Amino acid sequence: MATILALVEADATGLKRSSAEVLTVARTLAMALNEGPAAVLLTGLPEHIEQAGSYGITEGVIIEHELLQTYSMPAMAAALTQLVAVEQARFILAAATARGKELLPRLAAKLKAGYAPDCVELRLQDGSIQAVRPIYAGKVLATIRLRTTLQVFSLRPNVFTARPVELPAAVAVRVFRPELRAEDRSAVVHEVIRNEGKLDVLEADIIVSGGRGMRGAEHFWMIEELAQLLGGAVGASRAVVDAGWRPHSEQVGQTGKTVSPNLYIACGISGAIQHLAGMSSSKVIVAINKDAEAPIFRVADYGIVGDVFDVLPRLAVKLARFLGKPLPERFQREVQ
């Protein structure tokens, strides 16, 4: 049995990086508390759970039931409720991904457990966990101590560092078969539309985002090519997504995705409070805006006051030269 359950997700390439971060935190807490951690696979193939051994996890759990052949959040919450009881778990950790944000509140409510969402730090004090999380759109960091016996935490992706162990452990995988009823499967995911070949902003170290200052969807090639040059992902503000210029999967902000990359480049984004709430925890923020009074500059580490259509081509030239990479063709035509 494991008193720390780390809920993990996988895609076609294996465990998601955000899940690897959760496993690292689970291992660290287990060592400090002398508790047993286990990785619980939410989505992915059975062989993905074995990758947990790279992060020092020795136990893995696969939940099997015919009602879970197609992912159902209510059914998974019901299954996890039973698993937690069997394992007599004290702590549940998961990444604050779209799936984690949907699943954990329901799970905590069913278990009558305390819930601390979107944590940016977990620390031990007097044998209990203190969680640090942003509130008021990132203006304040609140330190929270849950009073319930069972405690649930979601971790903001890209804040914690995934640290593999030097000697990967062998994972003892066991299967848990819950007792589910048809009514537990009240909602089902019928189709998942993936942006093949595109890096998710939640998993990216570098994000290049565009706002209304890009003036239209036809100009977002600059954002795309700069992101490709840097090996990063494309992001967008809510105004851009609402206008139909970019898909919702790229939206960064309070009603989109909360990101914490090592580098965030905001191009033509004024910095509305809803957008700042989704990216202000980035390690380094670079803002490009022609309005010197734009709120984005208040959180930026580096600011460039200028028109993005003038700045981006010049920036691409400098970066290509620094990185030793060829300048994308469309940028070549812009600087000629």
Claim to verify: residue 95 and residue 24 sit in the same structural domain:
yes
Claim to verify: residue 65 and residue 179 sit in the same structural domain:
yes
Claim to verify: residue 163 and residue 215 sit in the same structural domain:
no
233, part of any domain: yes
Claim to verify: residue 122 and residue 250 sit in the same structural domain:
no
197 confidence band (pLDDT: 50, 70, 90): low
Q: Distance of CA 16 to CAs 25, 234, 325, 326, Å?
A: 15, 18, 28, 30
199, part of any domain: no
71 confidence band (pLDDT: 50, 70, 90): confident
User: At 42, which amino acid appears?
Assistant: L
- Mean pLDDT score, 161-169: 91
Q: How many domains does the chain have?
A: 2
- Mean pLDDT score, 205-228: 96
Better-scored residue on pLDDT, 15 or 12: 15
The whole-number pLDDT of residue 120 equals 94
The whole-number pLDDT of residue 190 equals 77
Claim to verify: residue 22 and residue 138 sit in the same structural domain:
yes
- Mean pLDDT score, 176-199: 80
Claim to verify: residue 29 and residue 149 sit in the same structural domain:
yes
Categorise residue 138: left if φ over 0, alpha if ψ from -120 to 50, beta otherwise.
left
- Mean pLDDT score, 19-28: 96
What global pTM score does this model have? 0.85
Which has the closest alpha carbon to 248: 234, 268, 231? 234
Claim to verify: residue 160 and residue 90 sit in the same structural domain:
yes
**263: domain CATH number?**
3.40.50.1220
Give 223-253 pLDDT, tens digit per residue. 999 999 999 999 999 999 999 999 999 999 9
The whole-number pLDDT of residue 188 equals 80
Claim to verify: residue 167 and residue 220 sit in the same structural domain:
no
Claim to verify: residue 174 and residue 211 sit in the same structural domain:
no
Claim to verify: residue 55 and residue 158 sit in the same structural domain:
yes
**82: domain CATH number?**
3.40.50.620
Q: Taking 90 as the threshold, does the pLDDT of residue 2 lie above it?
A: no
Q: Taking 70 as the threshold, does the pLDDT of residue 218 lie above it?
A: yes
Domain hosting residue 220, numbered range? 206-335
194, part of any domain: no
Q: Taking 70 as the threshold, does the pLDDT of residue 267 lie above it?
A: yes
200, part of any domain: no
Q: Taking 90 as the threshold, does the pLDDT of residue 186 lie above it?
A: no
Average pLDDT, the chain: 92
Claim to verify: residue 178 and residue 273 sit in the same structural domain:
no
The whole-number pLDDT of residue 195 equals 63
Round to whole Å and give the CA distance between 16 and 94.
12
Q: Which residues contact 191 (CB under 8 A, 6 or more apart)?
A: none
255 confidence band (pLDDT: 50, 70, 90): confident
193, part of any domain: no
Q: Domain end: 153, 184, 215, which one?
A: 184
Categorise residue 231: left if φ over 0, alpha if ψ from -120 to 50, beta otherwise.
left
Q: Which of 177-181, 196-200, 231-235, 278-282 has the lowest mean pLDDT?
A: 196-200
Q: Domain end: 184, 218, 241, which one?
A: 184
Claim to verify: residue 291 and residue 225 sit in the same structural domain:
yes
Categorise residue 264: left if φ over 0, alpha if ψ from -120 to 50, beta otherwise.
beta
212, part of any domain: yes
195, part of any domain: no
70, part of any domain: yes
The whole-number pLDDT of residue 73 equals 92
The whole-number pLDDT of residue 333 equals 78
